[in-house]
Amino acid sequence: MNSVTTWTVLIATSGLCFAIKMVGHSVPERWLAHPRLQRINALVPIALLSALIVAQGLVVHTRVVIDHRLAGLAVALAALFARAPFPVVVVAAAVTSAIVYHLH
């Protein structure tokens, strides 16, 4: 891809994102206050984060793999269930992942 095409795509995408945001601001408040929409809206970040964790933690290119990242994820989940503070969760997961990576 040459630089003109790259910049064209970048500017067009930015314009589209801006237009979507402006349309979102024009939605009537009563539509957004609907209880069903509120429940769905509360679950969207959870679904997206879960998909990101699976995609980044278990997939390499097009293959599902079990490696050091899964060990780190398991320790992070255990720390979360133990109600550890978020920095402790992140450090524990990173240290576990690094140790398993170097042992492998």
pLDDT tens for each residue of 32-88: 888 998 999 899 999 998 899 888 888 888 888 888 999 999 999 999 999 999 999
**Does residue 64 sit in helix, strand or coil?**
strand
Tokens of 95: 């240290």
In three-state secondary structure terms, 59 is strand
Count of beta carbons in the 10 Å neighbourhood of residue 93: 21
Q: Mean pLDDT over residues 6-21, rounded?
A: 95
Q: pTM (2 decimals)?
A: 0.57
pLDDT at 63: 84
Cα separation, 80 vs 76, whole angstroms: 6
